[in-house]
Amino acid sequence: MAGERKYITAEELQKHNKAGDLWISIQGKVYNVTDWAKDHPGGDVPLLNLAGQDVTDAFIAYHPGTAWQYLAKFSTGYYLKDFEVSEVSKDYRRLYSEFSKLGLFEKKGHGIMYSLICVAIMLCLVVYGVLKTESVLVHMGCAVILGFLWMQSAYVGHDSGHYQIMTTPGYTKIAQMLAGNCLTGISIAWWKWTHNAHHISCNSLDYDPDLQHIPVFAVSSSFFNSITSVFYGRKLTFDPLARFLVSYQHFTFYPVMIVARINLYVQTFLLLFSKRPIPDRALNILGIFVFWAWFPLLVSYMPTWSERIMFVLLSFTVTSVQHIQFCLNHFSADVYVGPPSGNDWFEKQTGGTLDIACSSWMDWFFGGLQFQLEHHLFPRLPRCQLRKISPLVQELCKKHNLPYRSLSFWDANVSTIRTLRTAALQARCPTNPVKNLLWEAVNTHG
């Protein structure tokens, strides 16, 4: 009969889940996004991770209403047989619709403008303090300010990656490059690549790059099996060196966080000069060169090498608070092995995140990301709206008996260190120990 719908089963859809053959379902309608993957603004990783599934909740979370009009050209003509929506998803979509009707996704407030003004003022203070004074104390004060500058710039870059913070996409891109590449030295292209994967596969040990820190850290004993990182396409080998480092990770966590930026710089260069397709590669490289022009030049104005080293380490130490915060949001939350599932979007986001409780006057310090669960559920929601919607998210979690964890900054640190210590002790007494002379020498007497 003309116009009769054609159906495929969930099992048939699941077969189209690899590069070169990517099908997804949105509200039960099947789309072929194989050719779109290379042009997808969020990169191909989210499509690869969720291919072969119904991805309605993830699509709603990441796309404005205007995106729906572009789906028709990808339609296969098929519909998903026996398509059902869970009660959790129904409530999530109703809540999203309510926020949309209230215009919360468009009401961005003035937070970004205030942040940009603060960043500009701090940059002027740092440059003036370094160039116009010879006081060691003033220079160290400038290092502290520079650390806060990097933190606020990172928040601006983060916001710009999730939603349009300026009046046009072009101006938003300029803000991204200035706040990210030029001021922090961390490429917005690298951030988008890893961050989108993190959101889609939140706390999957083999899919989420934000948990893959072998050989330095392991938040779960599952890493002891040398699992393969789907994101990086390589095996995370748990060798004798990894075992030794992980065994003391609850002691090394904070020192490592101080120098964590060095790894981000390295990762930026590795990506930008790789063969992987990178949007705006030349612009990203130009922004990175701007950073590596002004920052070493600024440091060079210090009179001695000891003062230069202290300046860099102090600025890194201040910024390490932000790196620690990102770890607090996820390290002690629930983890799993395997690909993300489009059918339990809400459940995976609530299970894999942890909020940091603080007074409203501290929102600027945490950049809105203290409401990590709210952000993961509604990533396009401006940071100024996250505190407002928090009670509604808590109600929804309570209704469906899902975790909503909100700890003070201190308690979040305690929880994270406890998680690292548990894995460290497990690494010391593995079922199948890795033979290593240094390991045996250090641990002979316990």
Domain boundaries along the sequence of the chain: 6-84, 111-328
Share of the chain residues as helix, strand and coil, in percent rounded to the nearest 5: 60, 10, 30
Helix (H) or strand (E) holding 323: helix 305-328
Neighbours of 110 (CB within 10 A): 9
* Amino acid sitting at position 153: S
Whole-angstrom Cα distance, residue 295 to residue 321? 20
Q: What distances in angstroms separate CA 283 from CA 112, 177, 181, 272, one per listed residue? A: 22, 8, 9, 10
Q: Report how many helices (DSSP H) and strands (DSSP E) the chain contains, helices first.
A: 20, 9
Locate 258 and state its tokens.
């101080």
- In this prediction, residue 247 carries a pLDDT of 96
The DSSP symbol for 433 reads P
> Is 3.10.120.10 the CATH number for 6-84?
yes
- In this prediction, residue 42 carries a pLDDT of 84
Q: Is the dihedral of CA 13, 18, 23, 28 positive or negative?
A: positive
Residue with tokens 């292209």: 189
Residue 54: strand pairing partners: 25
Give ∠ CA 376-414-400 in degrees, rounded to 5: 40
Q: What distances in angstroms separate CA 400 from CA 34, 124, 347, one per listed residue? A: 35, 50, 9
- In this prediction, residue 43 carries a pLDDT of 85
DSSP 262-288: HHHHHHHHHHHTSSS--TTHHHHHHHH
Q: Which long-range contacts (CB under 8 A, 24 or more apart) does 61-65 make?
A: 61/96, 61/345, 61/377, 61/378, 61/379, 61/380, 62/199, 62/379, 62/380, 64/105, 64/380, 65/100
Residue with tokens 């603004």: 41
Helix (H) or strand (E) holding 118: helix 111-132
Helix (H) or strand (E) holding 47: helix 45-50
Low-confidence ranges of the chain (pLDDT < 50): 1-2, 432, 434-446
Stated pTM of the model: 0.91
Whole-angstrom Cα distance, residue 24 to residue 378? 21
Nearest to 7 by CA among 102, 79, 98, 113: 79
Whole-angstrom Cα distance, residue 272 to residue 218? 27
185, 288 Cβ separation under 8 angstroms: yes
Burial tier of 168 (Cβ tally within 10 Å: 0-12, 13-18, 19+): exposed
| Cα dihedral 380, 381, 386, 388 in deg (nearest 10) | -150
Whole-angstrom Cα distance, residue 90 to residue 85? 7
- In this prediction, residue 189 carries a pLDDT of 92
Tell me the per-residue pLDDT of 37-62, one tens digit each, with 9 for 90 and over.
888 888 888 899 999 999 999 999 99
